[in-house]
Structure 1
């Protein structure tokens, strides 16, 4: 009953009866069991916080009546094919199929083949017309995110923007190519004079005798003020 209490005290969630909450938990494939000494997988606190922020923001946007688009990428191999298919059992040989003017069907691909990267954007009304992004992967690596870069994504996204509804919202994940900053933030790889120059350009006070680590700490303190804008914004 502790779960029910926590859920019903959360202002961002509807109130549930115990029977309804139990059905929801079962639907999510959770099972109430006696705990063993084995560790139980739970979300990290930062992930929980991010999820709560997202849900609150989405709830706020929906109340405002704004249209929401969702954007993402995925991949598919040229050799992708279903494992099962319907077959005509009256055809028992390739010769019979030939004589009957039929074929024996598509052959199962022998390998994965080329990999295609696919991106799209859409909402409750469907995908945005003429906005499919698709190209052949070059590296063919396990992680398809390595095939995309900020320049390619931003070029595609700029072409999509005019097709979206006014005052709408786009939901996307935080892949590196989605979140390129308008301005780079100084790091320890920068030279000390370069960091000092950046601080001076932002009218941020520092002492000339400060070591690089201290300067970087000052940069972090002002991060939100000066480096919170993204190219796709």
Structure 2
């Protein structure tokens, strides 16, 4: 028998809790172990529960009397060293650079100018959720090690079927008719992999634009499918092969030395970067057209 098992026996063999509704009703001592096994079974099944739902389940299973109140079960859980605490989830916050801070300030000033000119500011974004999203707080068995599968239900945030949601809204709420929700093909990785330029353009032109008030201005993030460039307006990057750099420069009839290195060719490409042209361009009437 492990040390944890000894502790479990000591802490859970001596608790009997009277019901507040009846001073004579007492939970049998031997039921404590049955209740413990029932809770640990929920943890193993990644099931989130409350005191109320646990009470109902225990009553249905005949483990506790039907007249037992949830307050009695709550006191019993505390006596068995179960605690209701913050879920074990790690959150990482990345410090923003000075450039990002300044770009945000510029964007906020631009938004204020757009509002002053009478335009409706519409925010567009995507998110995802699963059928088994984690709760902020949960019951945990403090007699178990935190790494034990019976410590709590410990559902990873990305577990379960994943749905992608696309929507747009203003300070008055969501835009009617611009809501899109679909089942993702995979529940792994970033949800941006489930969205592409073709799907975004279809949603933009068939759902969002016809539903927008006029005049409006759209606020989007830097997701690549929000601003897909035309092929002729793309500029080589540091990942481009040297042969492709040479081909790009030759197609645009830009002079360069035959002995130029890859770094020199990349610098020439950046100096001759073409004007950005997007596949979807919005005009002043909130309609879209191909660039």
TM-score, structure 2 normalization: 0.49
Q: Which residue number in structure 1 is paired with residue 268 of structure 2?
A: 218
Is it true that 1:77 corresponds to 2:130 in the alignment? Answer: yes
Q: Which residue number in structure 1 is paired with residue 114 of structure 2?
A: 61
**Structure with the greater alpha carbon radius of gyration:** 2
Structure 2: segments with no counterpart, 5+ residues = 1-93, 138-154, 282-291
Cα 1:137–1:42 change in 2 (3 A) is closer
Could you report, residue by residue, the CA deviation over 1:90-144 in whole angstroms, capped at 9, with x for unpaired residues? xxxxxxxxxxxxxxxxxxxx99531111010121343222221111112202522
Aligned residues: 167
Q: State the shift of 1:175 in Å.
A: 1.6
Say which is worse superposed, 57-66 or 191-200, in terms of deviation. Answer: 191-200
| Consecutive aligned runs of 4 or more in structure 1 exceeding 6 Å deviation | 81-84
Could you report, residue by residue, the CA deviation over 1:190-215 in whole angstroms, capped at 9, with x for unpaired residues? 45454344334445443344233212
Structure ranking higher on relative contact order (CA contacts 8 Å, 6+ apart): 1
Cα 1:229–1:165 change in 2 (3 A) is farther
Q: State the shift of 1:80 in Å.
A: 4.3
Q: Which residue number in structure 2 is paired with residue 44 of structure 1?
A: 97
Name the SS for the 1:158 alignment partner: helix
Cα 1:219–1:59 change in 2 (3 A) is same
Superposed, 1:41-190 pairs within 5 Å as: 43-80=96-133, 112-159=159-206, 160-183=208-231, 184-190=234-240
Structure with the largest fraction of strand = 2
Name the SS for the 1:118 alignment partner: strand
Name the SS for the 1:75 alignment partner: strand
Cα 1:188–1:81 change in 2 (3 A) is closer
Hey, what's the Cα distance between the residues in 2 that align with 1:130 and 1:117?
Answer: 17
Superposed, 1:7-22 pairs within 5 Å as: none
Cα 1:211–1:166 change in 2 (3 A) is farther
Say which is worse superposed, 135-144 or 205-214, in terms of deviation. Answer: 205-214
Structure 1: segments with no counterpart, 5+ residues = 1-40, 85-109
Cα 1:193–1:77 change in 2 (3 A) is closer
Cα 1:209–1:62 change in 2 (3 A) is same
TM-score, structure 1 normalization: 0.60
